[in-house]
Homo-oligomer: A and B are copies of this chain.
C-alpha cells in the first residue's frame, strides 16, 4: 500500500499490444472498481504456511527481537517459543488479499490503517488465511476517478483462532 495523492490517473486504458513490458503485469485491470463494491462484500483468501525460516528471515531484517529470531531465548519469553513478527503477519495478510485479484489494476494506493490488533501469537508452522470485508465506501469529492474503500481484514490460523484484525483504507479506481 502506498499513499495516493497525485492527480494523474493510475491506469491508462489497457492496450494489449504486447509492445510494453508493463502491459501484461499492470494494465490488466481485472480487479474490482470502487463501484463494483458494496458494504458487506466479503472476500476469502487462500492460505499460507509460515515456516520458522521465513519468520526468522523476515525478523532479521525488520524486527530482530529475541522472540522472533532466537529459538533458545524465545523459550524463555512469554510466548514459549519463536513467533512471527506482527509486521510480517500484516504484510502477508495483505499479500493474501492481493492474490484474490480484487485489487488488481484498480487499487491506486492506500491512506493508512486503523485498529490493528495482534490478537494471538503466530507460531512456526501455522497456516494463515484471511477474510476481508468492505466496511465503508467514500467517493472522492474532488477526483471523480477514485474513491476510498475501508476494508476490515481478519486473519485466522488453521484452528480458526483469529490472530489479527485491522482496517485499511484503499484508494480504488472508478471507471470513466
Contact = CB atoms under 8 A, between A and B. Distances in A.
Nearest to A89: B2
Interface in A1-42: 1-12, 20-22, 25-27
A103 B65 CA distance: 9
A53 interface: no
Nearest to A116: B113
Interface centre among A7, A95, A105, A108 (most CB of B within 10 A): A95
B26 A79 contact: no
Interface in A42-93: 61-68, 70, 72-73, 76-80, 83-88, 90-92
Nearest to A3: B118
Interface of A: 1-12, 20-22, 25-27, 61-68, 70, 72-73, 76-80, 83-88, 90-92, 94-95, 98, 103, 105, 107-122, 163, 166
Nearest to A146: B78
B118 A80 contact: no
B22 A72 contact: yes
Given A11-B76, A62-B94, A109-B118, 4 more contacts: A63-B94, A65-B107, A78-B109, A86-B112
A85 to B, nearest CB: 7
Contacts of A115: 112, 114
Contacts of A110: 86, 118
B121 A63 contact: no
9 contacts: A1-B63, A1-B86, A5-B78, A21-B72, A25-B73, A26-B76, A64-B95, A65-B98, A78-B108
